[in-house]
Structure 1
Amino acid sequence: MALGRRRTREREDQRAEGRAVVVREPVDDEPASARPEPVPPLRGASQLWADGVGRAGTRSLQVLAILALVAVAVFAVTRLTLIVIPVLIALVLAAAISPLVVFLRRKGLPSFLATVIALIALVAVLAGVVWLIVVAVVDQWPELRDQAIDGFDELQVYIQNLPFDITEEQLQSVRDSVVGLLQSDAVGAGALAGVSQTVDFVAGFFVMIVVLFFFLKDGPQIWEFLLRPFQGARYERGQRIGDSTVRTLGGYIRGTAIVALVDAVAIGIGLAIVGVPLVLPLSVLVFLLAFIPLVGATLAGVLCALVALVAVGPVEALIVVAIVIAVNQLEGDLLQPVVMGRTLRLHPLVILIALTAGTVLAGLTGAVLAVPIAASIWRAIQVWDGPDLPARFARQKRRETVETG
């Protein structure tokens, strides 16, 4: 039997390489039932696709087909932003406040009432944030913008006295870009303008509220309905993906909100101690920009330093820069690992690529949503084959060691 199996493997290897299969005469001690039927050799076009070049061509066609499907999906998403963006926002918010709904249900409240209470609480919080933005940022934006522009002008004077060879044209080009950004309508109108440029804000808001209500009330049932075509291992995989996505999105939003609040309070206290004006709008901007990974904290720190430079002087501006760096360092080394845990396990390069793609596809809203969506996708890959077993292509490969005796 072992000899027959070995000859079968030899014939399969010969057929995979496109060579003619040599059928040897059966051995007398080999039973007739164990003798495989001879397989004719590959001929013509079949033999062309069996070698290395043919396999590479097959893989190339498959990759092109996948890229075409992705391109069609991206095109459809960019044309349906009025639906896609509100649904994504509702999904993220539902994942963030779902623990509140579960808590109210455990206290004996009906599902409908628990959902309404959680939804009203969320709308109240969002309305408070919007009111704070309008009062603190929009009303004082002209003064804040002028302070930042004047600070950049003073910074330009300091740079010209440095030993570096920086031409006047280069400085003027950077100044024009900064002034154009600060004086643009999108920035002057605050965060709501960025959202309104992505979707029709009024219609999108109502769509988001309705979808959010049903996600909070019937989220598990909706996901169970989508998993009806699957059975067995595929059904269990869908359950793992749904649970991990909700935990990742909710943990990311709640953790980012806590980190942003701590950053805004800490930097606001530092600005007040140094004597920088416009502490409240600067703190609100720090809180909002914290939801944009990597670049948000840098933009907030630059704006605070520019205002400090023109308002109180260069020494105080350097102190503000040191405060911002210290707070960001404390956030990265202590606060984020404690608050967010392992929610966001992405390489900074992946975050940057996701952030860029989200900004290109959906503007400011895409910049905020891209990273948590990328994190949830990666988490789904990590539980693809089991609770702690990633998909085969994502598993860590270890080099085999050969012991020599």
Structure 2
Amino acid sequence: MFGRGRRAAERSAAIHTASVTTPRTLWSDGFGTLATRSIQIIAVAVLAAGLVIAYQSLSVVVVPVLLALILACAFEPIMRWLRARINATLATVIVLLGIVVVLGGIVWAMVAAVRSQWEDLYDSATEGFQQVLAWVNTLPFAPSQDQLDEWFASITDFVTSSQFGNALGSGAVAGVGAVATFVTGLVLLVVVLFFFLKDGPQLWAFLSRPFEGEWYARVQRAGVKTVETFGAYIRGTAAVAAVDAIGIGAGLFILGVPLALPLTVLVFLLAFIPIVGATVAGVLAALVALVANGPVAAVIAVAIVIVVNQLEGNLLQPVLMGRALKLHSLVILIALTIGTVLGGILGAILAAPLAAVVWGIVQVWDGPNTPARWARKKERPAV
């Protein structure tokens, strides 16, 4: 009797244990782990898709705010130095006016140089095009004059057609919209930059209020790392771009290439797009030299670009950018591609510093010098 009761109690305990452990077993075996990871990946993908959609819908706001944040981080040492000596508002006005004057002066110099040398470049381009046509006519498979006349007539008919007029009209409307969007973004950039420069620390303290304990410390580390990374990246890239522009620009001036000043400024701006920017700048400089000064000058221009880029990549970037900001070329290329697809040229410019900031935050996630657990170096087992 007592044995029968004991067996019944053991059976009841076994059923209870099975009912408790079965769900745990379902989610702790191999398929359960796979399902959990799949749900997590889907959640991350949905969040990323939501962020992309929000960015594309609010790009007029997001891009100026990001640019203002990057510029504020870049000029943070100057603002800190000025705040210690003068009023914060006056310091902000001085820095903001300096930025506007420098950028306005660059744009004015480019426009003035293009206007003054455009006719000479147009004549050189026309002459070069005629030389290319004359060379093509010497080839055995060159098109006949009747074919050229037929192609020219087709182009003329398309230009004078209503279809081209409608396309031109819609393009004009789109151009007006683009100008309005640019002006709106520029005004927003200046206003947001003013407040970031003036009240940046107070704004960050306000945004940090919801966090407590370890998460508060983590957010503070992320904020400090963001300012340091953005600032160091932009200042280092600007220094490297200035050296590139001076070296390539001096070579173009010595060769007597037209539009040397706009090309120099363009080299400086394109240097903010890693990997691709230097190549594009070199191709443009070589094309202008080829059209205006001939093939010898074009070859020399290409050689100058290659030498300057090698000097930049092997000497200047490691020294000026620092090891902490060094990302693998594959990571930069992937970030550059994603940024270009999502945001065009501005996306390509912002991709590298954003990737550097993300990696910098990962490096201080669990402590000032302690990366996130998954990003820590693993010790290789002894063989």
- The equivalent residue for 2:35 is 57
**Structure 2 stretches lacking a partner, 5+ long:** 1-9, 144-173
Measured at CA, do residues 232 and 50 of structure 1 come closer, stay the same or move farther in structure 2, by a change above 3 Å? closer
Q: Which amino acid in the other structure matches residue 261 of structure 2?
A: L
1:272 matches 2:253: yes
Deviations 1:347-391 (A, max 9, x none): 111111111111221222111111111111111111111121111
The correspondence of residues 213-292 of structure 1 with structure 2, limited to 5 A, is 213-292=194-273
Query: 1:152–1:306: 8 Å Cα contact kept in structure 2?
Result: no
Secondary structure of the residue aligned to 1:399 is coil
TM-score (norm 1): 0.75
Query: 1:81–1:199: 8 Å Cα contact kept in structure 2?
Result: no
Equivalent of 1:135 in 96, 108, 112: 112
Secondary structure of the residue aligned to 2:350 is helix
- The equivalent residue for 2:284 is 303
The correspondence of residues 67-78 of structure 1 with structure 2, limited to 5 A, is 67-78=45-56
Secondary structure of the residue aligned to 2:253 is helix
Q: CA deviation at 1:79?
A: 0.1
- The equivalent residue for 2:148 is none
Secondary structure of the residue aligned to 2:17 is coil
Query: 2:222–2:364: 8 Å Cα contact kept in structure 1?
Result: yes
Q: CA deviation at 1:273?
A: 2.3
TM-score (norm 2): 0.79
Secondary structure of the residue aligned to 2:257 is coil
Secondary structure of the residue aligned to 2:354 is helix
Q: CA deviation at 1:242?
A: 0.7
Deviations 1:309-361 (A, max 9, x none): 23333222222111110001111111222222235321111111111111221
Secondary structure of the residue aligned to 1:49 is helix
Measured at CA, do residues 247 and 154 of structure 1 come closer, stay the same or move farther in structure 2, by a change above 3 Å? farther
Deviations 1:132-180 (A, max 9, x none): 232234665676577679769978999999xxxxx999xxxxxxxxxxx
Q: Distance in 2 between matches of 1:157 and 1:361?
A: 43
- The equivalent residue for 1:15 is none
Secondary structure of the residue aligned to 1:329 is helix
Q: Which amino acid in the other structure matches residue 348 of structure 1?
A: S
Q: CA deviation at 1:245?
A: 0.7
Q: Distance in 2 between matches of 1:366 and 1:296?
A: 13
RMSD, aligned CA: 3.2
Equivalent of 2:344 in 360, 363, 373: 363
Measured at CA, do residues 68 and 272 of structure 1 come closer, stay the same or move farther in structure 2, by a change above 3 Å? same
The correspondence of residues 272-351 of structure 1 with structure 2, limited to 5 A, is 272-342=253-323, 344-351=325-332
Higher relative helix content? 2
Q: CA deviation at 1:256?
A: 1.6
Q: Distance in 1 between matches of 2:142 and 2:331?
A: 36
- The equivalent residue for 1:186 is none
Q: Which amino acid in the other structure matches residue 313 of structure 1?
A: G
* Stretch of structure 1 that moved more, 288-297 or 272-281: 272-281
Measured at CA, do residues 153 and 388 of structure 1 come closer, stay the same or move farther in structure 2, by a change above 3 Å? farther
Q: Which amino acid in the other structure matches residue 128 of structure 1?
A: G
Measured at CA, do residues 316 and 133 of structure 1 come closer, stay the same or move farther in structure 2, by a change above 3 Å? closer
Deviations 1:244-270 (A, max 9, x none): 111111111122222212211111111
**Structure 1 stretches lacking a partner, 5+ long:** 1-22, 24-36, 162-166, 170-192
Q: CA deviation at 1:70?
A: 1.0
Measured at CA, do residues 237 and 101 of structure 1 come closer, stay the same or move farther in structure 2, by a change above 3 Å? same
Q: Distance in 2 between matches of 1:385 and 1:231?
A: 15
Q: CA deviation at 1:272?
A: 2.3
Query: 2:96–2:194: 8 Å Cα contact kept in structure 1?
Result: yes
Q: Distance in 1 between matches of 2:43 and 2:111?
A: 48
Q: Distance in 2 between matches of 1:98 and 1:121?
A: 14
The count of aligned residue pairs is 337
* Stretch of structure 1 that moved more, 98-107 or 37-46: 37-46
Measured at CA, do residues 44 and 91 of structure 1 come closer, stay the same or move farther in structure 2, by a change above 3 Å? same
* Stretch of structure 1 that moved more, 222-231 or 90-99: 222-231
Secondary structure of the residue aligned to 1:385 is coil
The correspondence of residues 139-158 of structure 1 with structure 2, limited to 5 A, is 140=117
Equivalent of 1:124 in 101, 108, 129: 101
Q: Distance in 1 between matches of 2:16 and 2:78?
A: 65
1:115 matches 2:75: no
